[in-house]
């Protein structure tokens, strides 16, 4: 039986085994999927052991995405752009690395939330790994412009400089949260870690254009602090990152198995479990 896994530290909280078990049942794929706890200094050894035991591929979560990038012998363009890998596939040619986070975000926005990105003004909050991982897919969606805002402006500026060539005709801008005053956006995406600290980024008022969507990559029971603040500031629509989690998993499943599972029933069941917890 084909074996897959998610590797991280910590890992007990991961919903990936539940998601991929549902995908396998739905598509009638025969496989197992488990969660593996890797020592902080033992990621490569954990991957090697899993592969030697018959593993076909694995997802990679914090804090190992950079190590997975280094471990991959071949990488997808989106993994190369992200500088991080969250999906490994083992085949006769070695270890292939992909990054499905950005594709998962874009599909959640455009497919699940019916929020087209082409021609929209997008604000991306944060300039760390989460932001970097979604830059290329967001730019590929042809927004009217993409603005990055970060507490440390130099990091946002560096990220913009790195993706200028990939932006094509899409204007890119970088600045501080305070620099956003007087601007409005159609889609505001929180890629900062503020929600983990039960905080919201210190944003100026009036950022949300009529009908705008506020999206937090984090998820949980109820609204995150970012979404609470967005509602108060007039965002017409709110969404958390649970759909992104399911969609990036579907991208991994497609890479491994060659079939895209239907995500709507899996997302609905996860939402029911979280809200009922």
Query: pLDDT (tens digit, 9 = 90+) per residue, 53-106?
Result: 999 999 999 999 999 999 999 999 999 999 999 999 999 999 999 999 999 999
| Short-list 92, 104, 43, 41, CA closest to 70 | 43
Q: Is 244 annotated as a binding residue?
A: no
Assess whether pLDDT exceeds 70 at residue 35.
Answer: yes
Are 221 and 242 in contact by the 8 Å Cβ rule? The answer is no
pLDDT per residue as tens digits for the range 229-260: 999 999 999 999 999 999 999 999 999 999 99
**Does 140 show up as a binding residue in the annotation?**
no
Is 178 in contact with 151 (CB distance < 8 Å)?
no
153 labelled ligand-binding: yes
Confidence of residue 151 (pLDDT cuts 50, 70, 90): very high
Does 259 count as an annotated binding residue? no
Asked if 36 and 64 count as a contact pair (C-beta separation under 8 A), the reply is no
DSSP type of residue 204: P
List, by residue range, all CATH 3.40.50.720 domains of the chain.
102-240
Is 89 noted as a catalytic residue in this protein?
no
Q: What is the mean pLDDT of the chain?
A: 96
In the chain, residues under CATH classification 3.40.50.10860 are: 2-99+243-275
Of the candidates 24, 35, 43, 65, the residue annotated as catalytic is 65
CB of 216 within 8 A of CB of 227? Answer: yes
Q: Evaluate whether 19 touches 34 at the Cβ level (below 8 Å).
A: no
Write down the pLDDT at residue 196: 79
Per-residue pLDDT, 220:
86
Q: At what angle do helices 264-275 and 242-257 cross, to 10 degrees?
A: 140
- Is 183 marked as a binding-site residue? no
Per-residue pLDDT band at 277 (split at 50, 70, 90): low
Is 176 annotated in a binding site? The answer is no
Distance CA 55, CA 46 (A): 11
Which residue intervals of 90-152 are DSSP H helices? 101-107, 129-140
Where do the DSSP E strands lie in 61-109?
A: 74-75, 87-91, 94-98
Contact (Cβ atoms closer than 8 angstroms) between residue 88 and residue 58: yes
- CA-based max dimension of the chain: 57
Q: Does the 102-240 domain belong in CATH 1.10.1740.10?
A: no
Q: Which of 143, 150, 148 lies closest to 121 in space, CA to CA?
A: 143
Q: What are phi and psi of 161, to 5 degrees?
A: -60, -35
Q: Report pTM.
A: 0.96
Third-level CATH fold of 2-99+243-275: Rossmann fold (3.40.50)
When pLDDT is averaged across residues 155-165 and rounded to a whole number, the result is 96
Average pLDDT over residues 177-187: 98
């Amino acid at each position: 039986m084909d074996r897959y896994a998610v590797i991280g530290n910590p890992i007990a909280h991961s919903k990936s085994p539940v998601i991929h078990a549902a995908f396998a049942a739905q598509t009638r794929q025969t496989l197992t999927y488990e969660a593996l706890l890797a020592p902080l200094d033992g990621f490569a050894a954990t991957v090697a052991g899993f592969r030697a035991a018959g593993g076909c591929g694995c997802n990679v979560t914090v804090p190992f995405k950079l190590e997975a990038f280094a471990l991959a012998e071949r990488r997808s363009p989106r993994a190369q752009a992200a500088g991080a890998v969250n999906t490994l596939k083992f085949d006769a040619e070695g270890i292939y690395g992909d990054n499905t986070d950005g594709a998962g975000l874009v599909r959640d926005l455009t497919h699940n939330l019916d929020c087209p990105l082409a021609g929209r003004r997008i604000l991306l909050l944060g300039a760390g790994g989460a932001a970097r991982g979604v830059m290329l897919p967001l730019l590929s969606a042809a927004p009217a412009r993409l603005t990055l805002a970060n507490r440390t402006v130099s990091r946002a500026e560096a990220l913009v400089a790195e993706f200028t060539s990939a932006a094509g005709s899409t204007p890119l801008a970088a600045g501080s949260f305070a620099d956003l005053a007087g601007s409005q956006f159609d889609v505001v995406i929180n890629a900062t870690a503020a929600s983990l600290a039960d905080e919201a980024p210190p944003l100026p008022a009036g950022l949300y254009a009529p009908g705008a969507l506020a999206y937090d990559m984090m998820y949980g029971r109820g609204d995150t602090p970012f979404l609470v603040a967005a509602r108060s500031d007039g965002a017409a629509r709110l969404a958390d990152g649970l759909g992104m989690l399911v969609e990036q998993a579907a991208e991994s499943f497609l890479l491994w198995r060659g079939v895209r599972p239907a995500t709507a029933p899996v997302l609905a069941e996860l939402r029911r479990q979280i809200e009922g917890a």
